[in-house]
Every structure is written in structure tokens, then in C-alpha cells.
Structure 1
Amino acid sequence: MNLSKWFQFIKPNFKFYQDGFFEFPFVANTPELFIESTIKSPGSKHFASEQLVRRNNPFIKGTMRYRKIDDGLWLTITDIEFKHDSVIKSVYAPDVPSDHYSITFSVFESEVKLNNMFINKMPFQNKFWAFKKPGVDVGACFYKGSKCLFYIYYVSPSWIQDHIPLDQLDRNIPFKKFLDSDKGFISYQDIVPNAEELSQDILETFKIFNSDVLNKTILKSQSLSLLTSFFKHVFLDNRTNDYQGKGSVDYKKIAKCELLITTNLSKPFIGIDALSEKLRISKSKLKTDFKSVYGSSILQYNIDKRMELALQMLKNTNMQIKQIALAVGYDSPGKFSAAFRRKHEKLPSELRPESTIQ
């Protein structure tokens, strides 16, 4: 039986198949249990000497690297491609304490289709950060063809206390209010400007594991630099209470909402009423859940993604600025330039590389 026939056969009977998504749990009590659950998952091959797991099954393909960097500090780097629409969700073993925070930097890559005469599709990249308290249920949706890179730090309370004493924060800082609340999860869009460069350096250090006597020292230094930059920018964030508690977010519907936005960037925004109706979720819950997952309102997220796509077009195509404006849904070049400047702090003409100027 080939894969397509096998898939059609198990689809109605697969117990984790719900609402068009395959659901896969991972054990999240401790970093050791998470790594062990990945090693034992179907289609996984463990290379212990390299601290590397390769995965290839009918649903996902990729690698996971893991390292204990310090007492109370672990890092896993997962590079994965989804073969089917999937939900990854945390579960907890009842007899094992959950004693680590997690700090995640994620890079999602996909193609955005543009229904216009200038270009059919563009590669598109989203970057997110998330901070999760111990024992909190979270989940994420991924569509077929999505390619994702996850840097997940598992941090014990004692390690944070020794390196980043959060208890000394001003109680009026929003992140401090989050820590003191009963909420368990908060996320941000690309809040650390140099995160991708720092994380790429960390990945390269992972790849030369044990070939350099200073490898562990270098990795610890790089990780401290990335985490310090994260906390520095988080402490400056002035958001209000848009974080969420355990089990309160409908992740699948929020992922579908995000997809409806990013696959229609060349069209006028359909509006929150239409999104609410399509997703069969109340407007208030949709807005609250979306902001908790993506760190901004639906309206602002829509504008931000259009401007991020416009920046990629400026850098990677020879399209005129007025054509780019039309491609991301703006009939007026003036309104487009104003929105672009609010996002990127410069006009489109100021950020266009000389090599693309005709």
C-alpha cells in the first residue's frame, strides 16, 4: 500500500485526527523527558554520541539536537518540515514534577501566494518568542509544507535566580505582572532584533559538538547573550494583560486565523467579523486568543505582515514601489509608504538595495 492509500485508510480511524489536523503530544515535564519522548517517537533514530535525533515518518521530517549547557539550563534545536496539517501539544506525566520554564525562539518559513500581475508567490518568514511557566499546557498548529526551526531553552528557577533575578523587577513592568499572575504563557513577535544571527551562531556551535575543547564554554556564552537580549527587550515591552492561562487558547482556530491573514496579503483585509464567522468563534475570544499567541492585535498583525512582505519584495525583486504597494493590498502609494515607515522607521525608497534599483 502506497503512502497516499495508507493515509486515506487510517484517516477516519486515526485516534489523534481531529478537525483536519493530526495531533501529536510531547512530554513536557522536564527537558530530559522531552528529549526521551522525542527519541522514542515513531520514525526516530538517535545518535547518542552527537546528541542528535533524526525523524522521518509519514507526518514530519527533521532533526533535533540537544545539549545540557549548564546546571538548570538545557537547549534543544529542532528543524522540522510538516508533511500534513498537524498540532503539536504538551502533555505532562502525573508522577513527575514540572520544574522548568521554557523560552522558545521560532522561525517559520512558508510561501505566500499573491494574486496579482507582478508576482505569483513570495517566500515568507515569521519569527516568534514565547515564555512558558512550568506545567502549562500549550499547543501549536502547522500546515502541510511548513518548515520550522525551534530553539527551546529549558530553564530551572534556580538558574534564572542566579543569572537573571526576576524577583527584583519593578512590579509595574508588564512582564513582572505576568510572572506574578496565575497566567502561564506569553508570546512576542520578533522582539529581539539580532535573534536570528545569534541563534545561527549557536546552531553552528551545536554542529561542531565535541570537536572543540572550548565548545561548551562558547555555547554557554552564546546562550547567555541570546537570553540576555531577550529579557532586555521583554522588560521594555509595555503590553497590557494579553497573556493566557492554562488551556484557554483555541490554538487550531488561531492558527487558521493567521493562515487566512497571511495567504491573503494581496487582498483587502476581510475584517474581524468575517474571520469570526469563518472560524466559528466569538469576536472577543478570537481577538483575545490571537493577541496572546502572536503578541499583537489582529489588525496590527495584518499590517505588520504586509509590511514585512513588502520589505522582502524591496530587497529581492525589481518591482517598482507602486507595484509593491498594490501587491500587498494598497491602492495608494502614499498610504503604503506611511504604513511602511511606521513599521520599519524608514521609507521604502530608503531601504531598497542599490542593486535592485532600475
Structure 2
Amino acid sequence: MLQQKLQNWLNQFKQYFFTYSNGFYHLPYSSKSPQDLVESLANYPFMKHNRVKQSVYANTPFCSGGFNYQKLEEGLWVIYSKMRYKTNVAFDLIYDNPQELKIEDEGYYMLSLNNVTTRVVADMKICEKQLCFANYSWTFFKPKERNCDVNFKGANNKYITLYFSEEWLQKNLVQNSLFSEAGLNDFIASDTPYIAWPLDEEEEVLKNFGLFDEVMNMNNESTHIDFLQFKLYTLNLIFDFLKICKKQEVIKRHSVIDYNDKFSINKVENYLIGNLFDKFPGIDFLAEKFKISESKLKSDFKQFFGKPIYKYFQEKQMILAKELIIENKLLIKEISYKFGYENTSKFSTAFKKHHGVLPSELQKQELEVVL
């Protein structure tokens, strides 16, 4: 039913808006300026634009949700989006013909704090809880650089994105000593188009999702916005980014992933999450399936997700295993077998390494709570 609705809608509008490739519907949007971005997305079919609340809501065959936006001052905008995806969607930045751009249309830098989820596909008889694994990251794009947000079916993704002009950057950031100490001067002067850096889920910076929920009135619980508090949160978010760049030496350690390879890496991760009830497929299998060299797969995956592929896969298995033990529907031996372990002992060792407790001990604790 959904596929037919998508096809009917796509046939009506695709000549104007959409393409389909790499397993994704590609939705273009303008990025000449934040205002153009808002207008280009708001003009999509099935979009509702509330100019008073400065919000755009969508309920399309592709996704549901929306974003709030604010211009804090000249040259500085904030857009906070929350979307649930009904199919695979990639939002592609597009730019006007450079020859047609006006002098003032120099483009905007984009600094974004990202929460991207991947849904676990599991039999409800095995696991009743719907699990989504969250990946957190920073991205920082220079003006007019190609960008694409990759979103998989079933995901609930959040992005807090700051847009600032060259003039705002020079006036407010470049003069700050932390900007230079973090290596951002070198990044701005280089040919590197963007930075994408993974974050651990324990990072203090992730508190900003809750703070911006409140200050941008994402839940419509307030009648007004406290702009002084909003500006403070925005500046703090920028400083959080600068501090992480300095502490973790991001500029020295970062390497750029090619546009097409980014799709491959994301598809590898999505495939792994969809196949947690199985043995690790192997680097050679993944490289062949997703048409990427083994060496590039290993290096790009670690760069993008912050961990080697097998470690990433095993950690997600152990998180899922904990949920299965808590639900108490399967024996530990059965869980071990489903995850492709040769015996229960090896599974228990891996489980304790990740959770600090043996699966049998956790199972006992859960039974005691019930009793």
C-alpha cells in the first residue's frame, strides 16, 4: 500500500523534485541561504508552514515530523529538525548556478549536532521492545559544499544546525583564541570541504538536544521564546564544538569520506543492525556486497562511526542481548546460538566485557526484581 502511494505521488512530482538512486529517494533543497532552505522545503507537497511559530510540519509518504527555525541575528540562523522516516530518504543540498549568485550570496557555514538512529528489525516473538540504536556526531560544512543527509526507513533523526555567514564567522569566531587552538583556522584555510566527527553517547554535549527542545519550543509548551537564553545556548553549543575539536585533535585526525562512499558506509551500518541475529558476516563479504575495497571500508567505517566494524557490531549485539535477557523469553544458550557464538562460554565472556556482568548474573538479578 505504501509503495503504491509513493509511486503514484512520485509519478506526479518527480519531474520537478525527486530522483531515486542508491536505494534512496533523493529530495533536493536550496542552500543559498537558511531562508531559501526553509522556503524550498516548505514548498514541498504535504508541507505545512507556520510563519508565526516559524515551523514547518510534514506528513508525506516519505516522512513525518518537521523543523523549527529562528534567525538569531544578522548572519546567524538555527534550524532544529525532528523527522521519522517511512522509507529511505536522502536530502541533497543544491545551489543556484554560481554565475547567477549575487555578491551577498556567499553561502553559509553549517555546524550541526546530529542524532541518527538505525532501527533493529526483530521478530516480536523474540523481542517485544522496538530498539533503535543512536549514533551521534558533529558535522561542519563550508559554504557551497555538497552535502547529503542519509536517513533509513524507521529512523527517528534529530539535527540541530547552526547556519552562519562568512562575515559572522570572521566577526565572532575567528578572533577567538579557542577557534585557533582547536585548529579551525587551518580547516577554513584548507581545501577540506567538511568535518564529520563521531561522538560517544556519554558526551556532555548531547544535553543540547534537551536544551534546544525547550528553548525552541519544539513541543509547543510555551507562548514565547526566550531569545537571550536561546543565544546563550547557541554560543555554548559552538564552544562545545570548539572544545571537542581541541581536546580530541579533530582537525589532525579527521579524513574526508567521498560522497558516494558515505552512502556505502551508511548502508553497511544499516545492514549490520538488520542482521544482529547472526554471526558477523566478515569484512570481505561486506566489501563485496557494498562495492567498496576492504581497506577503505575499514578506515571509513571507523572514521564515520568511531569504532572498528567488528567491535561496533559486537557492541550492538550485546545491547540487544541484554534486552532479550531482561525480557526473559529465551535461554542464554538460545541467545548465544542466535548471535552465532560457538558456545555459551564465549558469548558470556563477550557479554561481561561489555556490560560488566555475566548474562546468568543479570538474569538472576531480573528474576529477583520480579519476585
TM-score higher than 0.5 here? yes
- Report sequence identity in percent: 23
In structure 2, the residue matched to 1:24 is 27
Residue 53 of structure 2 aligns with which residue?
Answer: 50
SS in 2 for 1:189: strand
In structure 1, what is the equivalent of residue 116 of structure 2?
108
Specify the alignment match of 1:336 in structure 2: 351
In structure 2, the residue matched to 1:150 is 159
Tell whether the 8 Å contact from 2:94 to 2:146 is kept in structure 1 after alignment.
yes
Root mean square deviation of aligned Cα:
3.9
Are 2:223 and 1:211 equivalent residues in the alignment?
A: yes
Q: Write the distance in 2 (CA, Å) between the matches of 1:294 and 1:166.
A: 32
| 8 Å contact from structure 1 (residues 82, 146) kept in 2 | yes
Q: How does 1:264-343 map to 2 (within 5 A)?
A: 264-306=275-317, 326=336, 331-338=346-353, 340=354
Partner of 2:267: 256
Distance 1:301 1:155 in 2: 34
CA distance in 1, matches of 2:108, 2:183: 21
Aligned length: 348
> Structure 1 residue 166: deviation in Å?
7.4
Q: What is the rounded CA distance, in whole Å, between the counterparts of 1:71 and 1:312 in structure 2?
A: 48
Contact preservation (8 Å) 1:265, 1:328:
yes
Structure 2 runs not aligned, ≥5 long? none
Distance 1:10 1:211, change over 3 A: closer
Separation in 2, partners of 1:178, 1:91 = 23
Counterpart residue number, 2:6 = 7
Matched, 1:126 2:141: no
Give the superposition deviation at 1:148.
1.3
* CA distance 1:76–1:116, shift in 2 (3 Å): closer
Q: Is the 8 A contact 1:44 1:53 kept in 2?
A: yes
Q: Structure 1 residue 168: deviation in Å?
A: 4.6
CA shift, 1:111, in A, is 3.0
Alignment correspondent of 2:204: 194
Asked if 2 retains the 8 angstrom alpha-carbon contact of 1:45 and 1:54, the reply is: yes
1:203, distance to aligned residue in structure 2 (A): 1.6
Shift of 1:261: 1.7
Q: What SS does the aligned partner of 2:87 have?
A: coil
Is residue 265–residue 329 contact of structure 1 (8 Å, CA) maintained in 2? no
Q: TM-score, normalised by structure 2?
A: 0.77
Separation (CA, whole Å) in 2 of partners of 1:298 and 1:265:
13
Is it true that 1:80 corresponds to 2:83 in the alignment?
yes
Identify which range, 75-84 or 283-292, moves more after superposition: 283-292
Deviations 1:149-203, CA, capped at 9 Å, x for gaps: 1111112344344544378569896766544431112222225713343221212
- After superposition, the Cα gap between the structure-2 partners of 1:297 and 1:186, relative to the gap in structure 1 and judged at 3 Å, is farther
CA distance in 2, matches of 1:76, 1:302: 32
> Is the Cα contact below 8 Å between 1:178 and 1:243 reproduced in 2?
no
The equivalent of 1:71 in structure 2 is 74
- CA apart distance, 1:85: 1.7
Look at both structures and tell me which one has the larger radius of gyration over its CA atoms. Answer: 2
317-326 vs 77-86, which moves further = 317-326
